[in-house]
Amino acid sequence: MIRPTPRVAGAALAALLGACAVLLAVALVASVNQGLVAAAMLVGCGIAALIVLSGAVNIAPEDTRSEATERTLRVATNTLSHLRGGLTAENAHAICALLLPETSAAAIAITDTTTVLALEGQIGTPYVPGSPNAKPTQEVLESKRMETFVSVDQESQDLRPFSIGNRRSGHYFGIIVPLLVQDRAVGTIKLYYRRDLDIDRTQIVIAEGLGSLLSTQLSSYELDRQAELTARAEVKALQAQINPHFLFNTLNTIASFTRTNPTRARDLLREFSTFYRRTLESSEKTLIPLSQELEQTRRYLTIEKARFGEERIVETQHVEKGCDELPVPSFLVQPIVENAVRHAMRDDGPLHVDVQVASDGDDILIAVADDGLGMDKAVADRLLAASTAAPDGASAPAGGSGRGAGMALRNVAERVERFYGEGSNVEIVSKPGEGTCVTLRLVDARLRLTDDAGNE
């Protein structure tokens, strides 16, 4: 059974009510002329009922808006997965194919700021994917406002915006909606129609809703991308702060072995090249397995042992079973260990460095403990303060300047909170002459291991 659409049913009902109103008006005039008071009153009641019914029909656009909203929400989940990679030609094509059945449009196109990315549907337009944007599209990009068009892709617009109800043969009609990210137009979505009568209030609301939906999802992608770029920039900044010292010291160490122990120099050079290659690879990734971060930390200590002497640094690692595959930001443990070597080592005797990883409920704790020079509470607190620049005359951690240590630890603390959420933090417990323990709390990190295992 074929059911009439809400728009057709509404129009038919309005026509029927109009015809009834004419008949009742004629009956009312006849009743009054003939002095039939009772009949005139009954006819008047009928007219009042028609007025109420007419009001109900006029409220129908609100139902139309509700219907449009539901249809917009239904496609939200499907479009989100295609916009996680940004506004590309491939993603745009998939989105057009998803959205076209949800509208009465003959075709849908998506553009960026210069080019048509995708077109889905049967429509006679020269602006196919890969073509430069038409003038009306550029106007919407500049104005950042939704507009309707006659001859939607033509250079000249003899009627814009058009009045719904006009028929213009030989023209395609359209709605162009800007896609906005932080009040910046990054593209448009274009809905094509064969007749201006096809563009009703429902289609306008749907077009506006789809534009808002895609804009929101693109904004979310942009925020995620900026967060990832920021995280990578922080890693590179941390490397730039630490690596020059390490680089020159390592090269000097290798150079000193070239005459006295060439084999040792060759082995160190290989270890050093592997260390730097892994460092560069890790800086391009958002997360790496904890096992990889710990392996890189061991490489660092191997090189430092060659510099200071094998007996000067004694390291141990204790990792709870299953925690080695935990995804962590790169350059998370090594800076803490490096701080211990640079600032906690005494003039003589070994420095013991112990790295422990264990779960605490759903949280995971990573602790780096040493038995070095230590520091007082004020200095430890300052290392994690928002401003890492120590004021003139302020005390630094025993054994050296605290500026580099503060930059490293603050960077680690910020990334821990960003990746693992509220409650994740870095805690420093230290006592002068006895040593320091830096503990990273990764909130709900254990759940990530469970989820990853379930997805395998």
Q: What is the pLDDT of residues 115-141, one digit of tens each?
A: 999 999 888 888 889 999 988 899 999
Question: Cβ(102)–Cβ(75) under 8 Å?
Answer: yes
Q: How many CB atoms lie within 10 A of CB 113?
A: 15
The CA distance from 408 to 428, in Å, is: 13
The CA distance from 340 to 7, in Å, is: 74
Pairwise pLDDT comparison (359 vs 225), residue with the higher score: 359
The CA distance from 60 to 51, in Å, is: 15
3-class secondary structure, 165? coil
The CA distance from 113 to 133, in Å, is: 8
User: What pLDDT is stored for residue 153 in this prediction?
Assistant: 73
The sheet with strand 173-181 has its strands ordered as: 116-121, 107-111, 184-193, 173-181, 147-150
Question: Cβ(363)–Cβ(443) under 8 Å?
Answer: yes
Tell me, what amino acid is at 360? Answer: D
Tell me, what amino acid is at 441? Answer: R
User: What pLDDT is stored for residue 58 in this prediction?
Assistant: 46
User: What pLDDT is stored for residue 162 in this prediction?
Assistant: 46
Q: Quick one: DSSP state of residue 323? A: G
- Mean of pLDDT values over 103-112: 89
With a pLDDT cut of 70, the percent of the chain lying above it is: 64
User: What pLDDT is stored for residue 34 in this prediction?
Assistant: 59
User: What pLDDT is stored for residue 198 in this prediction?
Assistant: 79
User: What pLDDT is stored for residue 156 in this prediction?
Assistant: 57
User: What pLDDT is stored for residue 117 in this prediction?
Assistant: 92
Q: Quick one: DSSP state of residue 289? A: E
Query: In whole angstroms, how far apart are CA 257 and each of 245, 306, 313?
Result: 19, 9, 19
- What does the angle CA 422 – CA 426 – CA 427 come to, to the nearest 5 degrees? 125
Q: Tokens in use for 339?
A: 């701080």
With a pLDDT cut of 90, the percent of the chain lying above it is: 19
The CA distance from 89 to 135, in Å, is: 20
- Of the chain, the end-to-end C-alpha distance in Å amounts to 48
- Least confident range from 200-209, 263-272, 287-296: namely 200-209
Residue 262 scores a pLDDT above 80: yes
The CA distance from 299 to 380, in Å, is: 27
Taken in order 121, 127, 132, 137, the sign of the CA dihedral is negative
Structural element, H or E, at residue 365: strand 363-370
User: What pLDDT is stored for residue 73 in this prediction?
Assistant: 59
441 pLDDT band (50/70/90 cuts)?
very high
User: What are the tens digits of pLDDT across the range 168-191?
Assistant: 444 678 889 999 887 788 899 999
Average pLDDT, the chain: 74
The CA distance from 92 to 98, in Å, is: 10
- Least confident range from 259-263, 277-281, 348-352, 402-406: namely 402-406
Residue 212 scores a pLDDT above 60: yes
Residue 53 scores a pLDDT above 70: no
Residue 42 scores a pLDDT above 70: no
358 pLDDT band (50/70/90 cuts)?
very high
258 pLDDT band (50/70/90 cuts)?
confident
Closest by CA to 372, choosing from 307, 447, 433, 301, is 433
Residue 314 scores a pLDDT above 60: yes
User: What pLDDT is stored for residue 419 in this prediction?
Assistant: 84
Total-model pTM: 0.49
Q: Tokens in use for 298?
A: 């061991």
User: What are the tens digits of pLDDT across the range 395-428?
Assistant: 333 333 444 455 677 778 888 888 888 888 899 9
The CA distance from 43 to 431, in Å, is: 98
Question: Cβ(348)–Cβ(430) under 8 Å?
Answer: no
